[in-house]
Structure 1
Amino acid sequence: MLKALARHPRGLVILLIGLALLLVPAPPATPDDPLLEDIRARDFIQVFTRNTPTTYYQGRQGPTGFEFELVKRFAEHLGVSLALNSDGNIEEVLTAVRSGEADLGAAALPLDPTLPGIRFSREILTLQPLVVYNRDLPPVREAEDLRDLEIGVIRGSGANLVLRELQSQMPELGWMESGDVEVADLLQMVEDGELDAAVIYEHQFKLNRLFFPGVENGFLLGDPLSLAWALPAGQGLGLLREANRFLGQLRADGTLDALIERYFGHDDYLEYVGARLFIRHVHQRLPAYADTFKEAARNSGFDWKLLAALGYQESHWESRATSPTGVRGLMMLTLPTAEEVGVENRLDPEQSIRGGARYLRSVKERLPEEIVEPDRTYMAMAAYNVGLGHLFDAQRIVEMRDGDPYSWSDVREALPLLQKREWYSKVRHGYARGGEPVIYVRNIRRYYEILNYVKRSQQQFFQLNQRPPDDIDNSHLFDIVAPVL
């Protein structure tokens, strides 16, 4: 070999250099990011976020939210635990990042390279500013319609940036901004007439519109912004590079798009006018039956708001409702079902509610024990609508398709197949209008969400102000951005 190398002096030199480099001890690694090393040494990453539907909140099955999903996965990517602080607003999140109290800010932050002390990750999501307004006002369809309106925005959200740009063309434009409100607060103020309009983001309105039927979609304002993570400047680039690498991987393998679709891609399940009617009935009809729903819930083990949502789906809380097939009453019981649960008069709302709760409980108890919550409740509601036999048939179809018969997600896909001869001919109970229970469960879940929101928001407003919700004055929360005339 050496003779061969002697005939090629250049190759011999390269070999000798390589051997020499192997013998020289490697220099100590220079940490490219002391923050990243510190995170790995302490075994957790400190993330500051906000408690909102688009960032982080406590759902029925625990912590959830779009940015929570992302930072949880990022912590796993780094091999560390996740420590989360959700107490602050946008300004407080950015202050925590600048000071080093937070390793990362994930709080629906608009990418703004002019902010001092902050580095931003690559774009995660496009943010399209949207003007919304009180539906009792004349239509607000263009920038000119904003003149003389009281407009509210969240300070630091990026909405103020697009308004500043618009103000350069319309010097008479003014607005109010606050760091102490969130999107739901703004929408509530617009609905209550405390504000004429607000500037939020399109995806935020899509998530919240059902809860605020008095707020109308106006028009898109300005160019889209970018949602990004905030990291402290002056700490090296290692954590930023790791975050960008992680986000790039999620986008490349489709995970990021799937998360965006899951949280923001679907439109509201219920038609907008239907949601407005529901909320009106919450105030006008539900109070007469609320105590009975609560009593039935205590006796059956369900959340009373879930029973109320089911009752609304059945009859719109009409105690004398009757279907062409002879199903009657507020909970729309069949005659055999009424006899089974001891209801003598189906048109008596108290008997109907108690009987409906008992029947839902009995259906739930007859489901296979392998079905766990929340799927167990979803399947019980589907069986309340379509019957246990057809639900069991749908589970059998799931098995034929190599799915999980104990998963509501799989059963939900199989139920509409009961309308196709190819499938219903293979199961015991035959044809069923299997698409109906899917919509049925979906609607009840959304009604339940709205009832939870109404109850929670009233409590929060009362605790914040220590007076009834109808007596709230929020003007002190805002700073006025005056016209530049």
Structure 2
Amino acid sequence: MFSTYSCQNTKSKDNNVVGKAVEKKQNDLGEILKAKKLTILAENSATSYFIYRGHKMGLEYEILNEFAKEIGVKLEIKVVQDLDNIINQLNDGEGDVIACNYTVTKDRRNKIDFTKPIMRTSQVLVQRKPDNWRTIRKSIWEKELIRDPAQLSRKTIHVWKNSSYYDRLVNLQDELGDTIILKPLDGNIIPEDVIEMVSQGFIDYTVVDENVALINQRYYTNVDTELELSVKQRIAFGVRKQSPLLRKRLNAWLDDFMKTSTFNYIKYKYLNNTSNVSKSKSEYSSIKGTKISPYDDIIKDVSAKYGWDWRLIAALIYQESKFKLGQESWAGAYGLMQFMPTTGPSFNVFPDSPPAVQIDGGIRKIIKDYKEWESIPDTVQRIKFAMATYNAGLGHVLDAQRLASKYGKDPLVWDDNVEVYIKHLSNPKYYHDPVCYYGYMRGSETFNYVRSIFIRYTEYKTAFPIES
């Protein structure tokens, strides 16, 4: 059993897949540009971020992904399981930007800064329509619904305790001079889940932002969201007070981006397009589903046979083929694992091989590449060398390793060492160097290949935890 393939760092029991425990950093724009990575703290929702069939989606994710492209960095997502802790996580340096349909409030502004608003929305009451609403006129069944905030007296409303919704209901009680029975919910229950609870009859009422309500009402058609309970409030991205340059750059970009057709399309895609609502509720969605791809059961079974984490293999397959069985590249690579015609037969994998055979052959190829790097003491780094070899071939990675050693970098570490020189192998200065035997390659592809797989793997681990 290859227990080392579980992607645990051999240097520390507590380290995660990326090899090091999270350090508390107060990154501003300069550090983000240097690291070429912007980390957002998101919730698992259609408005913020979710995974559908391995593909990253979400209104705020797509906006910030455009920003990341603009400043030339990769976007990394950290899904926050408990929104009660999100400000602490931001200020502790676990992420750079909060993106969770976050309302700007006075209390939050005391702790963090906000960008310019990306939208304005009011709070609405979510209530269930009568069971027979489809068979009678709206003018009749509407009489059974609350249409005036005064009717909330003595009603029980379940709502997130540390939200602007809860604060608004407390103020509304004072305005009414009567009691609203508030049932506080913890931050690990997202608004979309509470809307579902109303729809299924587990609770009677909740309050959410109108944009969230509109998205979910297209799926939960038996809920009503017409009663507004607040004025229009600002939804914005949260930024540390110690990151003024990031906030300034993001605001300047938003000023221009929010005038573009791309921004309008992203809003339409999530706020008006019913198909994307269906995706967020699909069995292949990280919000409601438990699957990354149609091949999860096969990936799990075959990965377990060889002792690999199935989510790492899923991240590799997505990078190779986006789970498209008949995928063929311009170079003739085929299938889920994108075997070249000269390599596939060595692992008994052919273009018409069934998924289980393709995945089994791909994992055996990764194991073979992993064994080429017995000199690498750290298992996470060793897996990254193996992934690079899977993509570029052993010879080019050996060239990059020799260049790293020549220029004073650690030849046994991929991150920020050998990966730097794999990128340089498209530059004649480096691929003509006497220590290089295999010549030119598009090294940036392999550089991005390894990084993308591990970023996606980290996201898959959060969205699809291993069953206990």
Range into which the TM-score falls when normalised by the shorter chain: 0.3 to 0.5
Q: TM-score, normalised by structure 2?
A: 0.48
Indicate the structure (1 or 2) with the bigger Cα radius of gyration. 1
Return the structure number with greater relative CO, CA threshold 8 A, min gap 6. 2
